[in-house]
Amino acid sequence: MDALKPKKFIIITILKMKLNLKFYIVICLLSLLGHAQEPLPDNPKIGLVLSGGGAKGLAHIGVLKVIDSLGVRVDYIGGTSMGSAVGGLYAAGYTGKQLDSIFRGIDFDVLLGDKVPRPSKTFQERINSEKYGISLPINDFKIQLPSSISRGQNLFNLFTKLTLDVTAISDFSQLPIPFYCMATDIETGASVVLDSGNLAEAISISSTLPTLFHPLERDGALLMDGGIANNYPIEYLKTKNLDFIIGVSVEEDLLTKEEINSISDILAQINNFRSAEDLEVKIQLTDLFIEPDVEDFSIISFNKGAKIIKSGEVSVTPFLSQLKAIAKTQDYRKARKKIIDLDSLKFSKVKIVGNEKYTDSYVFGKLRFRRGETISFKDFSSGVNNLLATNNFESFRYQFSPLSNDSYNFTGNVKETTNTTLLKLGVHYDKVLKSSLLLNLTKKQFLLKNDVLSLDFILG
């Protein structure tokens, strides 16, 4: 009889588990039913969260185009990485169609590469850029790899140009649509909310893809792409007293074992573990979750932007009835953003901070403008290229502060380069030397602040 007791216990336990499972399912169904029956209030407040994903994030533009066409009003936006770029510009007043036109007109090779135009370079820099293909920093007699491919200066210039009319707004909750974006503290790995300051700088930081762009310093912290720590920042929208939240995610799915064929695949899989797990939880916080089909594209497929944007438009189709119901209660149409004149920028006051080795006169001499002058943004950008072509500065960030007389106060923040020694490599072929390896050792500030020692070696 004692031998039968364990079996009886097992049977009772299984029955309890079945009852508990049925009870759990009933509770979930009742909860879902109650949620589904809860009507939206008239004129509901709508939140929108846009994930990161590099070029895949261009699908957000397609989603916004449909949202605009239906007349859905967005009351708060949160974004990460490419989601912060699209979301930040939308929050600044651009429509989905305007964003479509802007991004289709961008040369992403120039934007991401930070190539300085040839006329902006010194004579010696022009020669070296044509002879040498690789440039490696030397620190304490050790050859190092560069920290990034690009400074991200062209990206910052673009965002500044597009947000110049809202540059006076330092509290992002006061933008045409309240906004925040995410960054990652590289020192601690913590997620950082950017909801104030310079909008162009904030979305530049949030879009700073690892290895492609150099990390940026803000308030003493070294920050870069927000998607590293939080690629779908919906939790902050949940605190904004909203009635309905729309989420758009272009995150990569985890690879199957058949798809993992290289080191890069393994690294990508490891990187996606955390974000994939987080997304599953955060989807439950989303009232309407949209996931564009972007599996055929990569994070650098900017040359396929038109197709990616179209995939975003198509992804909204299953949710048209819900969005139309929302739009019907809002009675709203987003107006096109008025584009301001960028051909006559006048500076009342100008100031440079962060320079220690180089004088204000040197910096403004490269920028080619002075206080009281009127220039176009195109000429201003050319001046920035002149400054960076010296390779004396790691970064140049600036702020336009508008005044009542249609002029601006200008503050430029330079970060002088700490690495002054470079090893440059190149390959050459001619009929005399045949194939040869070119080496160059460049030492800046060898004796004076603005001198250059350059030694060339030819092995062949």
Mean pLDDT, rounded, for 261-269: 69
The share of the chain scoring above pLDDT 90, in percent, equals 45
Q: Please tell me the least confidently modeled range out of 60-64, 124-128, 352-356, 452-456.
A: 124-128
With bands split at pLDDT 50, 70 and 90, how would you rate the model's confidence at 216? confident
User: Residue 15's pLDDT band (boundaries 50, 70, 90)?
Assistant: very low
Answer for the pair 169, 399: CB distance below 8 angstroms, yes or no.
no
Torsion angle of alpha carbons 344, 348, 353, 356, nearest 10°? 100
Q: What do you get for the CA distance between the two ends of the chain, in Å?
A: 94
CATH architecture of the domain 345-416 equals Roll (3.10)
Scored b (16 or more CB within 10 A) or e, 276-295 reads eebbeebeeebebbbbbebe
Average pLDDT over residues 374-396: 87
Q: CA–CA separation, 421 vs 424, rounded Å?
A: 10
Q: Which amino acid is at 154?
A: N
Identify the pLDDT of residue 395.
86
Instruction: Please check whether residue 100 is in contact with residue 92, taking contact to mean a CB–CB distance below 8 angstroms.
Output: no
CB 155 within 8 A of CB 213: yes
Highest mean predicted confidence (pLDDT) among 120-124, 133-137, 420-424: 420-424
Q: How far apart are CA 200 and CA 457, in angstroms?
A: 43
Average pLDDT for 109-113: 78
Q: Which two tokens stand for residue 9?
A: 């216990």
- Whose tokens are 């709203």? That residue is 332
**Dist. CA 162–CA 383, nearest whole Å:** 18
Beta strand extents in 360-433 (DSSP E only) = 374-375, 393-402, 408-416, 421-430
| Residue type (1 letter), 128 | N
The answer to whether residue 23 scores a pLDDT higher than 50 is no
What is the rounded average pLDDT of the residues 73-102?
Answer: 97
Cβ–Cβ under 8 Å, residues 452 and 442: yes
Residue 167: closest CA among 396, 415, 398: 398
Q: Is the pLDDT of residue 41 over 50?
A: yes
CA distance 396 to 153: 7
Position 292 scores a pLDDT of 96
Average pLDDT, the chain: 83
Its pTM surpasses 0.85: no
Q: Where are the domains of the chain?
A: 46-114+150-330, 345-416, 421-459
Q: Where are the alpha helices (DSSP H) in 136-215?
A: 153-162, 199-206
Q: What is the pLDDT of residue 144?
A: 67
351 pairs with which residues across the strands? Answer: 411
- Bridge-based pairing of strands 134-139 and 421-430 is antiparallel
Pick 132 or 214 by higher pLDDT: 214
Classify domain 46-114+150-330 at the CATH superfamily level.
Answer: Cytosolic phospholipase A2 catalytic domain (3.40.1090.10)
> In this predicted model, which residue has the larger pLDDT, 271 or 56?
56
Compute the average pLDDT of residues 162-180.
96
H helices then E strands: how many in the chain?
13, 17
pLDDT band at 37 (very low <50, low <70, confident <90, very high): very low
Which of the four pLDDT bands, split at 50, 70 and 90, describes residue 62? very high
Higher pLDDT, 179 or 395: 179
